[in-house]
Amino acid sequence: MSTTRVCLVTDELYPFTPGGIGRVVHNLIMDSQRQGSKVEFHVLMPATVPVQKAQVELFFGGGVKAHLCHFREPHQSAADAHGLYPPTSAFRDSRWHGESLELMRYLKAREAEGLHFDVIEFADFRGWAFATLQEKHLGLAFAQSTISVRLHSSYGTIMHHEPNTLEVENLGRFEIERKSLLDADLVVGHLPSIVEFNRRFYGFDDAWLRKVRVEFPPVVMDPPAEASSLTDIPSTRRNLVFVTKIQHFKQPDVFVRGAVLLMRTWPAYEGKAILACHAFDLDFLAEVKALIPPDLEDRFVFMKPGPDRDAYIRAGVVVITSSYESLNLTAYEASVAGARLVLNSACLAFGDESPFVDGVHCHKYDGGLDSLAAAMRKALDGPALSPVRWSVDRPYWERNVRDAPPGRAAQSPLVSVVVINHDQGIFLPIALQGIAASTYPEVEVIIVDDGSTSAFDMQVLQRLERSSAEGPGLSVVRSPIHRGLAGARNLGSRAARGAYVLFLESDESVSPGFIQHAVSALESRPEFAGVVPTGGSFHSSEELANREFKGFMTYLGDCPSYALVANYVAAPTALLRRSLLTQQGYNEALSGYADWDFFLRLVQGGHRFLVTNQVHAFSRRRHESAHRAAPPRQHFRRLVRMFEGLPAPLHPSTRLFAMLAHSREAMMDPLGALESQPAQPVPGAAAALESAQVLSAAARPLRYDVVDMMNAALKRLPLVHPFLKQSVTSTSSPAGGEPGVAQPGEALPLRYALVDRANVLVKRVPLLHRALKQTVSRLT
């Protein structure tokens, strides 16, 4: 039997970091080593994890190879043989998108060096598998690797059980995790109930279940310490123990209230309530502590996990009040250690499908406080319980899981490249040169002139018509009136003969390999309707030739929730199946947002898209359109028209908070919200991608662009920039944190934090704020 090479991608690893994901990863490795399995483990972690490679390898006795991935600086680009990668700051949907790209690049570089993995496993949390899966499905890497995602607890499922602050970035987090689970080669769940919950929560159909494996993971216990016997402790003095996390969905507040209720209703009880766990949200910790009555404060003990944690577990009653868990190893470890357990039966991990039986291995309560207090008293005062029993499944990588790479079609179907022109004939050579440089052989070019009136364009079109008469590869379609982009694209799609259609404008182009990659992927993966290129914008032909881009457009592909807020689905330059355009045309009745409307209807109709990680679409950037937003009344009129045209019912993965987040942005800062809306359609080659770029900057205030420009200018002064940065850092350190370092949950550069503070002050003078915003808009 040959050795299987497995790479586990994680930022948690027991005993170096807290967190249940890290404990599962640890247990999988330890159990495999104990079983003598022929598995070569690699662990890939971001370099931000406070651990050294040598530490990890030493702990696992040399049976694990550790890797650390260093993320690029936010504005640093990168390139490989397939093209240029945008900087991580370009991913406005969520920073996790950029992180997934960095991890993919690391894995791809190792593969290029000859280090091939049979299995690459990601956690569902953060959706880090996204970029790696896109690269594999596009046929650019990982053909021999199974890319799997394990159901721990995604941010989306946790957010479902916690207060949602309606941040727009939550939509990006939700969508990238959903896409990772949907596109994965294999999904691993620990319990059938958790698999079914994720299927319904993310709106997956029954076909998704065919790539899901339910495997109960190993529970590896630490060597037992000297056990304390509950029989030696009077029931009225036994402690209640909470050992998960001070986190909303773990419900420590419910534990505290239940303990208070028990102490009030059972006066003879003298035990303490011990919360031995990590607290990452100090505000929530304060809320939990505030629930304790003053006369009972000495009965509640808060501490971080330490060497006494196991002793408290063995000698007390462990209470797990979580509203959601995918497994919760603590419950199994506590039961085996001899602790008495109180579990929330409303939590799926402890439901009827779990190994825990009420009254045999634990005492369950129905989620209510009275039921919780009653279960606590049963556990304190009742007889001992039996340890829980379960069967561990051998992990999937010990079986034959390698998928055969999808077959590539031998034929090369025709691709119709439709180039839209309106009085921008001077730029047409850019689009035509890009098409001519394509590595794909079967291409027809259709020039759609959208009612041009300039004399220069008339001459260009006449020359093109003469050229089209010489062969079938080029044709010109003239519209006698200016239809707008929606009408011109519909005109072009009706003239197209190819199996696939690619829309360009006069000064847009695509990389030589894009059509080849896109067609190859779509021919082998019929579940996808199109391939979306990441875009780069330029000012001059010299910048285009040198790939020196001034901005980037990034997308998620099919993202039904986020698509309600902005067009993060696709660029107009996506390569689409022509059959799609016969079903769904562009809405010519809309005076703007035609691209957004088109792709929103597609994803709500269930169509799926692949996204390139490299920059494959190039668009001339126009300063005058970069911040032109529709007036508020017009903007909302367009939204109404768009939303009224959506299919009903909406896609099952659509979350209501998408609409609420959209409304929140507009209510909290109407001008700031509208800054990020798409530009009004303007005649010219780059209008569509400019609109897409502005949309991709959803929730990005104008002030950030201004301060970015200032920062770029200062960086040209090597002596001044570091001095200013050091001075500002020393006076602007966040309380309780490192100067200039983002605190947990925030990823803003220091300059953004400073300009945010200034913006808050200026907003106190509404007339000044409005005047400054209008002035800056004109300057940028």
Q: Specify the pLDDT at position 1.
A: 60
Return the H-helix or E-strand segment holding 576. Answer: strand 575-577
Pairing status of strand 245-246 against strand 278-279: parallel
95 CB neighbour count, 10 Å cutoff? 21
**In a domain? residue 395:** no
36 and 53 in a single domain? The answer is yes
439 and 521 in a single domain? The answer is yes
**In a domain? residue 198:** yes
What's the domain range around 732? Answer: 702-779
Q: Is the pLDDT of residue 98 over 50?
A: yes
CA distances from 771 to 112, 758, 775, 778 (A): 54, 15, 6, 11
515 and 585 in a single domain? The answer is yes
- The Cα–Cα gap between 411 and 523 comes to 9
Determine the residue type at 551. Answer: G
Q: Specify the pLDDT at position 775.
A: 62
Return the H-helix or E-strand segment holding 43. Answer: strand 39-46
96 and 173 in a single domain? The answer is yes
Q: Specify the pLDDT at position 683.
A: 31
Which has the minimum average pLDDT: 322-331, 345-354, 618-627? Answer: 618-627
Among 154, 189, 214, the domain-final residue is 214
Using alpha carbons only, how large is the chain's radius of gyration in Å?
29
CA 649 to chain centre: 25
Pairing status of strand 575-577 against strand 39-46: unpaired
**In a domain? residue 219:** no
Q: Is the pLDDT of residue 183 over 90?
A: yes
Q: Specify the pLDDT at position 154.
A: 95
Q: Specify the pLDDT at position 633.
A: 82
Count of structural domains within the chain: 4
Cβ contacts of 452-459, under 8 Å, gap ≥ 24:
452/421, 452/422, 452/423, 452/425, 453/423, 454/423, 454/425, 456/425, 456/426, 457/421, 457/423, 457/424, 457/425, 459/425
Report phi then psi at 191, rounded to 5.
-135, 145
**In a domain? residue 96:** yes
- The Cα–Cα gap between 541 and 515 comes to 22
Q: Is the pLDDT of residue 510 over 50?
A: yes
- The Cα–Cα gap between 347 and 359 comes to 17
Q: Tell me the average pLDDT across 473-492.
A: 94
- The Cα–Cα gap between 686 and 650 comes to 31
- The Cα–Cα gap between 271 and 552 comes to 60
If you write DSSP's letter for every residue of 558-588 in order, what string do you get? S-TTGGGTS--S--TT-EEEHHHHHHS---T
Q: Is the pLDDT of residue 199 over 70?
A: yes
Is residue 551 a contact partner of residue 696, using CB atoms and an 8 Å limit? no
Q: Specify the pLDDT at position 717.
A: 56
The residue ranking higher by pLDDT, 237 or 745, is: 237
Q: Is the pLDDT of residue 692 over 60?
A: no
- The Cα–Cα gap between 644 and 182 comes to 28
Q: Is the pLDDT of residue 329 over 50?
A: yes
Which has the minimum average pLDDT: 58-62, 379-383, 680-684, 742-746? Answer: 680-684
CA distances from 726 to 439, 710, 719, 741, 752 (A): 49, 16, 11, 13, 16
629 and 608 in a single domain? The answer is yes
34 and 127 in a single domain? The answer is yes
Q: Tell me the average pLDDT across 713-727.
A: 56
Q: Specify the pLDDT at position 681.
A: 31
- The Cα–Cα gap between 339 and 387 comes to 9
586 token code pair: 């562009």
690 and 735 in a single domain? The answer is no
Is residue 375 a contact partner of residue 340, using CB atoms and an 8 Å limit? no
Contacts of 410 (CB under 8 A, 6+ apart): none
């662009």: which residue's tokens? 705
CA 525 to chain centre: 22
Q: Is the pLDDT of residue 721 over 60?
A: no
Q: Specify the pLDDT at position 177.
A: 98
Q: Specify the pLDDT at position 13.
A: 96
292 and 235 in a single domain? The answer is yes
712 CB-contact burial (10 Å; exposed 0-12 / middle 13-18 / buried 19+):
exposed
Q: For residue range 54-95, list pLDDT tens digits in order.
A: 999 999 998 999 999 999 999 998 998 888 999 999 999 999
**In a domain? residue 676:** yes
Strand order in the sheet with 273-276: 300-303, 273-276, 240-242, 317-320, 340-344, 363-365
591 CB neighbour count, 10 Å cutoff? 15
Is residue 738 a contact partner of residue 750, using CB atoms and an 8 Å limit? no
**In a domain? residue 390:** no
CATH number at residue 562: 3.90.550.10
Among 696, 713, 740, the domain-final residue is 696
Q: Specify the pLDDT at position 675.
A: 34
Biggest CA pair distance of the chain: 100
The residue ranking higher by pLDDT, 101 or 658, is: 101
- Closest C-alpha to 180, from 136, 225, 246: 136
Q: Specify the pLDDT at position 621.
A: 75
| Rounded-to-5 percentages of helix, strand, coil across the chain | 45, 15, 40
Give the CB-side neighbour count of residue 642, counting CA atoms within 13 A: 24
> Kindly report the CA angle at 19 between 358 and 737, in degrees rounded to 5?
135
**In a domain? residue 511:** yes
Report phi then psi at 779, rounded to 5.
-70, -30
Q: Is the pLDDT of residue 360 over 50?
A: yes
Q: For residue range 595-653, list pLDDT tens digits in order.
A: 999 999 999 999 999 999 999 999 987 544 333 567 778 888 888 889 998 988 999 99
Q: Is the pLDDT of residue 685 over 50?
A: no
SS3 709: helix
Q: Specify the pLDDT at position 251.
A: 96
8 and 151 in a single domain? The answer is yes
What percent of the chain has a predicted confidence (pLDDT) above 90?
64
295 and 372 in a single domain? The answer is yes
266 and 337 in a single domain? The answer is yes
Q: Specify the pLDDT at position 430.
A: 83
Q: Specify the pLDDT at position 24.
A: 95
Q: Specify the pLDDT at position 625.
A: 39
Q: Tell me the average pLDDT across 520-538.
A: 96
676 and 756 in a single domain? The answer is no
Per the prediction, the chain carries an average pLDDT of: 85
**In a domain? residue 221:** no
pLDDT band at 307 (very low <50, low <70, confident <90, very high): confident
CATH number at residue 137: 3.40.50.2000
Which has the minimum average pLDDT: 147-156, 425-434, 577-586? Answer: 425-434
Which has the minimum average pLDDT: 399-408, 438-447, 515-524, 564-573? Answer: 399-408
Among 185, 214, 243, the domain-final residue is 214
Is residue 131 a contact partner of residue 86, using CB atoms and an 8 Å limit? no
- The Cα–Cα gap between 346 and 341 comes to 15
Q: Is the pLDDT of residue 666 over 60?
A: no
